[in-house]
Chains A and B, each alone.
Chain A
Amino acid sequence: MSATASAALAPRRWQRFSLGKRLARLAFTLFAVAAFAASLRTIEVIPEFLYDAPDQLADLFGRMWPMDVGYVGPTLRALVETLHIATLGTLIAIGIAVPIGLLAARNVTPSLPLNLLAKFVFVTSRSVNSLVWALLFVAVFGPGPLAGTLAIALRSVGFTGKLFAEALEEANRGSIEALQAAGAGRLSTLLLGYWPQVKPAFWSIALFRWDINIRESAVLGLVGAGGIGVALDTALNLLYWDQVAVVLAAIFATVIAAEIVVTTVRARML
């Protein structure tokens, strides 16, 4: 950056970042600190609630124990529904995301308007929280797991589609050109050229999203969209904390189990 003549005279001073970059970093840090300070000053927090919080939490957990064993049955039924919602939601999401992902990948679809349209679909899908999707679908289809499944599906389209399109874009041209040179049609090129290359990424994306969706589908019941959230909501509204504890334990066990399944499958397959 600096002139070489002056560098020869003065002892060289090593700097990791250029001046502009350092200023930008400083500005950003200052901005973050200012935002934090401003938020702390203006947010409405009632101090008494804060002092009280540990006692209240301890009291809450005290009321949760011992758990209500009689509630295990309904919880398990709701849990199975949650698993169905998460899995079917992921499958539908993939079904929608794969064609749009093909449109979003620049090497598969060499058309900028189509690419941008597909990316717009992905961004919209990701920006709306699954609870909001669930609210919208409950208004359309009525309460129940149907609304929840569609909410999970539409929420996941953006995530899976974006990653799938990125995997497609990283595919090696060589084998695809070889297929095209041999006179393969579009479908054959996709199935035999792209698919083998993106297959590991595809399964890894699907598994990852399934894992996320199990967590997400557990809360959909709070807005009436089915699954174990309904059991949680009922128990909460009736203030049966010993039942709440059963539901929370079930969710915890399921999430841990799903994580173990995903890790093993990933290690086996990929």
Chain B
Amino acid sequence: MSATAGPTPAAASRGAAFRPNWTARIGWVLLAVYALYAASQLGFVPERLASGLGHGRQFLARMFPPNFSRWELIQSGIVESLQIAVIATVIGIAVALPIGFLAARNLMPPWVTWPMRALIALCRSFHPIIVAILFVKAIGFGALAGVMALIVASVGFIAKLFAEAIEEISLKQVEAVRATGAGFLSTLIMGVQPQVLPRFIGFATYQLDSNLRNSTMVGIVGGGGIGATLFTAYQRFDYDVVLAILIVIVTLIMVAEIVSGWARKVFQ
């Protein structure tokens, strides 16, 4: 880093090749100071970490080997999670499309887009688990609450991206279709839809993935699916069953990722 040879007049006038950036360095120091402060606030103390290591060893010992003897329970939970994810994605998309369309600023007047954008922001800002709690409290335990929660999450995600995709389309095609005397619906189908369909498939498969991940979780708060089984096993300290369920969930999510990647390729 430092110059080893004595600087010749020419080199001195050129200056160092890599000048130190003091603002960046101060920024990094401030970040480090903040990290230390936050760690002290959150209970990162050496004793706790050390005792945690001991507990961790015990915990792992109780997790291994995974216990698949309750496979029937795991299977029914997984199937329910899959069903929750599929239903929530389909209905979520069906609800999100009109909302996303109404939120697109190039096709709709501001008095329509503003309330729609607020609605989308509201759907997006709460974690699906929180929405699931509200639905569980309102309509009772079970898969329905999970489905409703994931529909809200899907609307927040798909409607936002769909509105953005529509805002990026070329209006020339839309005008061309309009110039042929097409009605409103025909303009949508022939002018707008072909331009956004490929991206839309991408959003839909991504949302299915993410709904699947969350549908394995909503059970923790009573929303149905494998999460309920997982949480019960956890509370009963059956950590070997917990590990078995985790292995099944991770496998399922990896398979889903491969399938949705394949779907995206097919529809491109």
Contact = CB atoms under 8 A, between A and B. Distances in A.
Nearest to B249: A127
Interface size class of A (residues with CB under 8 A): 35 or more
A60 B135 CA distance: 10
Contact of A88 (B39, B90, B147, B263): B39
A49 B143 contact: no
B42 A85 contact: yes
Interface string A7-36: 000000000000001001100100010011
A161 interface: no
Interface stretch (A66-74, A108-116, A142-150, A166-174): A142-150
B138 A252 contact: no
A46 B254 contact: no
B31 interface: yes
A39 B87 contact: yes
A46 B142 contact: yes
Chain A at the B interface: SS class: helix
Contacts of B41: 81, 84, 145
B194 to A, nearest CB: 9
A246 interface: no
Interface string A237-262: 00000000000100110011000000
Interface string B133-146: 11101111011100
A141 B266 contact: no
A81 B43 CA distance: 11
Given A81-B42, A129-B217, A146-B44, A87 B83 contact: no
Given A24-B266, A132-B230, A145 B43 contact: yes
A45 B143 contact: yes
A154 interface: no
Given A140-B55, A232-B130, A45 B144 contact: yes
Given A25-B266, A226-B42, A192 B18 contact: yes
Interface in B81-124: 82-84, 86-87, 90, 121-122, 124
A255 B267 contact: no
Given A45-B142, A87-B34, A236 B217 contact: no
A52 B129 CA distance: 21
A215 B122 CA distance: 12
Contacts of B121: 256
Chain B at the A interface: SS class: helix
A186 to B, nearest CB: 14
Instruction: With a 10 A CB-CB cut-off, give which of B83, B84, B230, B267 has the most chain A CB atoms.
Output: B83
B73 interface: no
A141 to B, nearest CB: 4
Q: Which 5 A-B pairs have the closest CB atoms?
A: A39-B83, A255-B125, A145-B42, A88-B38, A56-B138
Interface of B: 1, 18, 31, 34-35, 38-39, 41-44, 48-49, 52, 55-56, 59, 79-80, 82-84, 86-87, 90, 121-122, 124-127, 129-130, 133-135, 137-140, 142-144, 147-148, 213-214, 216-217, 220-221, 230-231, 234, 239, 242, 246, 249-250, 253-254, 263, 266-267
18 contacts: A42-B79, A53-B135, A56-B138, A60-B138, A81-B41, A123-B254, A127-B213, A131-B220, A135-B234, A139-B234, A141-B48, A142-B55, A146-B52, A149-B42, A222-B221, A223-B220, A236-B137, A252-B126
Interface of A: 21, 24-25, 28, 32, 35-36, 38-40, 42-46, 49-50, 52-53, 56-57, 59-60, 81, 84-85, 87-88, 91, 123-124, 127-129, 131-132, 135-136, 139-142, 144-146, 148-149, 188, 192, 215-216, 218-219, 222-223, 226, 232, 236, 248, 251-252, 255-256
Given A36-B90, A45-B147, A49-B142, 20 more contacts: A28-B266, A28-B267, A38-B83, A43-B80, A49-B140, A53-B138, A85-B42, A87-B38, A88-B38, A123-B254, A127-B254, A128-B246, A128-B249, A131-B129, A135-B231, A139-B234, A146-B44, A218-B130, A251-B125, A256-B125
